[in-house]
Structures are given as C-alpha cells and as structure tokens.
Structure 1
Amino acid sequence: MKNLLGKLWFQVILGMISGIVIGLLLSPSAFALISNELALKLAPWIALIGNVFLALIKMIVIPLVLSSIILGITSAKSVAILKKLGLVIIPYFVFTTLFAVSIGILITTFINPGSYVSKEMINQMSVANIQVVKEAQNISIPDLLVDLIPVSVAKAELSGNILAFVILAIFIGVALLSLKEEESKPLIDLSKSLQAFSMKIVEWAMKLAPYAVFGLICSITIKIGFDAISSMLMYIFTVIFGLVLILCFYLIIVYLASKMKPLEFLGKIKEVQLMAFSTSSSAAVMPLSINTAETKLEVPTSISKFVIPLGATINMDGTALYQVCAAVFLAQVFSIDLSFVELFVLALTTVGASIGTPSTPGVGIVILATILQSIGVPLEGIALILGVDRILDMCRTTINVTGDLTATLVMKRLTNFSTTSEKIANEYVSQQK
C-alpha cells in the first residue's frame, strides 16, 4: 500500500474518487449537505489548485511545443528521414480522424439519443449559456485555415492557436536541417535549453496533479450533480460508446504494428490516460506522453518528439467523434433531418474543425459552433450539452492521447526507424560530400 501511495497514477485515482464523493455530498442536486448558495460559492475555491495547475500548463505549452518539435525534426539528422516520417504520419492522422467521424455519425444515427430528450429540458437552456455560444458564431473553416499561418506570433498566442506554433516549429526544424552544422547548432542548443526549462516547470506542476484532480472533479460534481447527467444519459452513453469503439480500433492497430497485446499496451500507458482524463488537456500530459513512448513503448526519440506534439494539436479523433455526435444529436433534438450530402459535409467540416481545436480544456464546445453552422442547427442548442461537456471532455481527451501514443508505434513500424535511420543518415552525409 505504501508503494502504491507513492505512484502518481494511484494518487490521481484517489483524487478523482475523493472529488466525486465530496462533490456529490455538497452538490445541491445530490445530497446537499450545505445550502445551494454556499455550495456554488465554495466550488471555485475548491477548483483553485486545479485551475493553477492548468494555468501553469497553458503558460508553458507553447515553448514546450516549439522546442519539442524542433528537436524532434532536427534529431532525424536528414531531410530524407523527415520526408519519410511526414509522408506516413499525415495520411495516418487523416485516416483515423475520418474513421472516428464515420463511427460518430453511424452510432448517433442508429441510437438516436435526441429522441430521449424532453421538450422541457430544451426549454430550460439558460440565457447565460446561449450568450457564451453566440461569441463563437463568427468562427468558420476558412478563418481557422488562415489562422494556421503564423503571420503574427503574438496574435496566435493570444487566440490560443497552438497549431500555428506547430507550423512555425516545423518550418524552423526543416530549415535547420538544411543548414550547415555550425549554422544550426546555436538554435538547436537554444531549443534544448528551452525544452529543459519547460520540463522543469511541468515537473513542478505535476506535483500539484493529485490535488488539482480533486479540485477540478469536485467543483464539476458540485455544479452538475445528478440532474444534468440523468437527463442526458443516452447522449452520454452514445459518445462514450463511440469512444470505446475508437479505443478498440487503436488496440487492433497497436497489435498489428507491434504485436503488443491490448492489456499490455493499456498497462504501459495507464498513467498518461489517467492524467488526460483528469486534466482534459492533451497539452498537459504531453511530456508524460513523450516519456512513456520512449521508456515504456521503446519508441525512438525522433519519432516521439515529432509525432506527439504534432498529434496533440491535429490528431483529435476523440474530439472529432464527440463533435459529430453532438451535431447529429442536436439535429435530432431540433427535428432537423440530415440528407446524405449534409452528412458528408458534416464529416468534412468535423475533420477540419477538429484539426483546428487547441489541446486545452473546454475549447471543443466553442469549435462545435462551426460544425453546427454547416448543417443549420441553432447554436443555442449547445447550451443543452454544456452541463455534461466537461465529463465528455475528460473521456475524449483520454482517447486523443491514446491515439497519439498509438501513432508513435505505427510510425516506428512503418518507417523501420530503429534499423534504417542511421543508414539513411550516413547515405545523406556521403551524398553531401
């Protein structure tokens, strides 16, 4: 027992269970041991340490992403290896995202969770929630695509457009590979220092993780209690069922790529999954994901530091499934019949929108507005699912990080990196001479 208490994953589980139990005891819609007013005032204070934890991660995520991708690219040693990596990983990410979207459309259409929601529940959508959604009405796919180009680094940082920094880091990394060693070395050394600094901040933040998990889970449970969950139970079931199907899909891919059995793979990545579930942030667990890929999955550094930061921003299979399920669900709630063409447009829009979704908690609900616009669903409908969004956010983030780790094994297998990288690098050097 003493050994278990010293493990981060066990501490996180204790924090989650304690948060749920105490949250239900204090929640006005559960056991209500204290007054409604006092419970709602207490919730932000309980969540304080969790919000501090997330703020530390948000503060350091951009330098961490920049340094990790630059070092991941430059560690490939040659443009030949980098080209090989890129030609495999991008089509793979697109394929898995399309699979997730297709699963989402099929199961939501078949289960039809919208038919289980009463009209009274729809009428209870609060004005405050609707106002939050209306702020996202101007988001469009063309705007998201334009924002990918890092014209202004300050603007990208302020808007939370992490993908712009990914693209910037890729340009820097490729350019450094094309320079002579004496020209590229200073910037590579700077990237190493920046990564070491970022990892130290993350190390400090991780000491807060169990307490942060308790605070965040407890605060959410106080606010939503039983009512919001029970009224949306079929919708929650549909999304989680879809996420489980994606997980099974990943386990099949892992076995085909590495012959690793499902339980063995899940055992090796359980700490990453628990942290992702607790924080709802792919960015927060990125360092842990990289370390797990290298130490437990035996993935080369050049693959882990390239694939995982990239995947944390564009490989959002769990988010894609959630968004398409939510869109079809709300269409059912508002009795909007979707044709085959509209479903096709929905699938394409969801793929694009999921790529542009930042890897931080809660933003998926804003990006969902883009998808709803494409099929004519009233944006006010988002208020209906806000109550249970954080729970599903935790679940889909777990699938997102699992997908990133799966991708590293696929890359390792398809590129035969561990046996051929040195050979290709030597051939490249010989050609330059």
Structure 2
Amino acid sequence: MEKMFWLKVIVGMVSGVAVGLLLSPDALGLIEKDLAYAIAPWIALVGNVFLELIKMIVIPLVMSSIIIGITSAGDTETLKELGLRIAPYFIFTTVVAVAIGMSVSFLLQPGLSVSTEVLRSLPPAVEVSKSAEATFTTLPDMIVKLIPVNSAQAELDGNILFFVILAVFMGVALINMKHKDAQPLLQLFASLQAFAMTIVGWTMKLAPYAVFGLLCSITIKVGLDAIVSMFFYIATVVLGLLALLCFYFIVIYVTAGIPPWRMLSLVKEVQLMAFSTSSSAAVMPLSIETAENKLKVPPSISKFVIPLGATVNMDGTALYQVCAAIFLTQLFGVDLSINELLMLSITTVGASIGAPSTPGVGIVILATILQNIGVPVEGIALILGVDRILDMCRTTINVTGDLTASMVMTRLVGQREVASKPLEDGQL
C-alpha cells in the first residue's frame, strides 16, 4: 500500500458526499431529478467496477488464504484447538451484538418517533417479500446445504460460505497427507494466492476513486429528506454499533493490552475502506495485511480467521437486523412476547451467519426475520432509503470484529508465551 492511503480514501469520501449533495435533487437541487439520477450511475461506474473486480477474485483469494492458513498451523492439534475456540467466540460476540441491539432499541424506541403520515405513504415491498420467501429454509436443511456439492451454483448465488467450508476440508486433508503428495497442491495454492493478491493490488489503486463514485451516487439518490425523517432510527443503530465497537476495544485491551486509541490508529485504513465499500469481501486483503503487519497476528491465524470471519462473523449485521426488526414492531404496534423475542434473537444470530459479505444483503435477511415475527414486510420500504448508509456503518464494525477475533485467537492459540502480559507499543 502506498503511504497516506487512508488520507486518499478520506478525501474521496468527503468530496463524494460534497459533490453528491450538490447534485442531489433532494438537497441543493441544482439540477433536475431525472438528470441527477441519470448521472449517478456514471459517477458510480469506477466504484462498481472496483466491487466487481473484488468479487471476481474473492473466491480464489478466500480459498487459497484459508488453505495456506490451515496448513501453516503444522498439525491437526493446533488447528483443532483454533477451531474449538473460534466457533464459540463468534457465537458469543454475535449474541452480545444482538443483546446490545435489543437494549438500545427498547431504550430509545425509535419506532415511536415516526409520524403516521409516513406509514400511509409506504409503497408495497413485493420484491423484497419474494426474495425473503425464496431464501427461507429450515435449520436441518441449512445444515445439509453446508456440505460443498455444487460449486457452480454457489458461485452464482454468491455463497462464499460454501467455498470456506470446501477450503477447510482441503486444508485439513492436505495436513493429513504425506508431504511429497501434498507439496504440489500447496505450491499451487501459494501461487494462486500470490496471483490473487497481485490482482487485488491493482484493484486497490482504484479505491479512492471508487469511494468518491460510490458515496457520490448514494448521496444523490438518498438526499437529505430521507436521512432527516429517519434520523432517530439511524441514531439508534449507530449508537448500538458504537457500543459494540467499545465492546471490541475492551476485549482487545483485556487480551492484548492495546488501548482503544492505539487500536484505532492501527486499523483506521481497514475501517475507512469498509465504510466506503460496504463489503467485507472487498476489504479482506487489507484486513489480512493489517492483521499480519500491524497487529502481529501469525499468518496461520490471520489467513484462517479473517476469511472465515468475513463469512460467518457478522456482528454489525446482526445488531442492525434486530434494531430494524424492533423498530418496525414499534412502528406497526406489534407487541412481542418473551418467546417471540427469544425467537427473534435466535433467528438473527442464525441468519447473520453465512450471509454473503456483499452490500445490501441485510435487507433480504431482515425480510425473512420480519415474516417470522408477523411484521408487515412493506415496512422495509421505509428503511430502504437509508439502508446503504447503515450498511456502510455495520460493515465497518464487521471487519473490526474480524480483526479483534484474529487478535484474541493469537493470544489464545498462536502466541501463548505473550498471552499473560500486554503488548507494548514498541512490539507493534
């Protein structure tokens, strides 16, 4: 990465929002609405190309990274120890995220701040409802579908979890093979990872321009009216995400002795990229680099935990979903019993695991959750206008959670000799 990369991203963010407000018909209104909406896709062209390039290379990158990370562990005992710790850790942090989301939603009650006139203006959300119905499945079916069978269909569906599980199987198999038999495949995957990182390096040069285009296009389409009308709801979700971020800082300080301001300075580039692109997959290479070079996480852990976390560790998404669901229950006057709240929590935790790490997926998952608790799916139309803004915020928390998990696993598994004492600044 070039020096001051984070500054270039900030410049892209600020200028993108500024130009978007100038062109937005709902803000300054310098140009007509039809013309502004026609310009927006062209401004976002570089950003959309950036995201598609990342999607193009993310599967070989994820698979090669996980396989190399597993085989770097050296033996199945270390891998087993890591797996037995990372799974409950991911579940624990997701449960914490859901608990925080419920707490801030019931405390602030954002659904009571929306006027009834807004409810009358809601359009039907037919497309979202159909998507939710198509994605709903039972828990046993979900477990069976975790077995990697049809890679072509998984790629079409954007199911990265399929390739994560396939890579885990391959990595474990390679560890248990004779060295002379495994060596050719190991060299192949090492070469594949180097190839993927080369493509990523080229793609990242577009990042500041991509950030400008994406934020400018979003600002043109969203405008100020939607943000102002939903301000209390946005503030509730953001407050919950900030509380979750503080929880991460506490975990990092307890396990690694790194104070919050120091942690922020180390991961700011990753957070800025996550905020700008709304995609954990797009930030994954930068997350791995930051974990290894700045946070001193061993490659055997970073290349396993971060790709896995980008797929199953969606704490920010889980918090957002429970906040949005409770917001809509308050809005439509739906009273939830203790059992329904428990089912909402379980559904949110389950739905956030394995969600594609791409922009906008939270809306489809939310539709599934709403159907389960009896909330009209049409309410999604109300939060759809500000979803991209909150998508950017929750993705930032998601990638921070992955980096936190990699540091925790390093202290528990990878570096036992320093687990008992805090890291000093000089060690970073």
TM band (smaller chain): over 0.9
- TM-score scaled by length of structure 1: 0.93
Alignment of 1:309-348 (within 5 A): 309-348=307-346
Instruction: Please give the alpha-carbon distance, in whole angstroms, between the structure 1 residues aligned to 2:185 and 2:239.
Output: 46
String of CA shifts for 1:199-252, please: whole Å, max 9, x gaps: 111111101000000000000000111111011111100100000000000000
In the alignment, residue 55 of structure 2 is paired with which amino acid? K
Alignment of 1:171-190 (within 5 A): 171-190=169-188
1:214 maps to which of 203, 212, 215? 212
Q: Which residue of 2 aligns with 1:429?
A: none
1:55 maps to which of 52, 56, 59? 52
Alignment of 1:14-413 (within 5 A): 14-127=11-124, 129-142=125-138, 144-413=142-411
In the alignment, residue 413 of structure 1 is paired with which amino acid? R
CA gap of 1:384–1:144, structure 2 versus 1, over 3 A, is farther
Unaligned runs of at least 5 residues, structure 2: 419-428
Identity %: 65
Instruction: Please give the alpha-carbon distance, in whole angstroms, between the structure 2 residues aligned to 1:74 and 1:123.
Output: 58
Instruction: Please give the alpha-carbon distance, in whole angstroms, between the structure 2 residues aligned to 1:385 and 1:409.
Output: 35
Query: What is the deviation of 1:415?
Result: 1.6
CA gap of 1:259–1:165, structure 2 versus 1, over 3 A, is same
Query: What is the deviation of 1:122?
Result: 2.2
Range 208-217 or range 375-384, more displaced:
375-384
Query: What is the deviation of 1:419?
Result: 4.8
SS class of match (1:136): helix
Query: What is the deviation of 1:416?
Result: 4.5
Instruction: Please give the alpha-carbon distance, in whole angstroms, between the structure 1 residues aligned to 2:349 and 2:303.
Output: 24
Root-mean-square deviation (CA, aligned residues, Å) is 1.4
Instruction: Please give the alpha-carbon distance, in whole angstroms, between the structure 2 residues aligned to 1:66 and 1:145.
Output: 21
Instruction: Please give the alpha-carbon distance, in whole angstroms, between the structure 2 residues aligned to 1:93 and 1:381.
Output: 30
Instruction: Please give the alpha-carbon distance, in whole angstroms, between the structure 2 residues aligned to 1:277 and 1:416.
Output: 30
Count of matched residue positions in the alignment of Structure 1 and Structure 2? 415
In the alignment, residue 234 of structure 2 is paired with which amino acid? I
Instruction: Please give the alpha-carbon distance, in whole angstroms, between the structure 2 residues aligned to 1:362 and 1:148.
Output: 22
Instruction: Please give the alpha-carbon distance, in whole angstroms, between the structure 2 residues aligned to 1:219 and 1:190.
Output: 40
SS class of match (1:254): helix
Q: Which residue of 1 aligns with 2:426?
A: none
In the alignment, residue 28 of structure 1 is paired with which amino acid? P
CA gap of 1:141–1:419, structure 2 versus 1, over 3 A, is farther
Range 87-96 or range 372-381, more displaced:
372-381
Query: What is the deviation of 1:36?
Result: 1.0
CA gap of 1:223–1:133, structure 2 versus 1, over 3 A, is farther
Partners of 2:301 and 2:414 within 8 A in 1: no
Range 73-82 or range 326-335, more displaced:
326-335
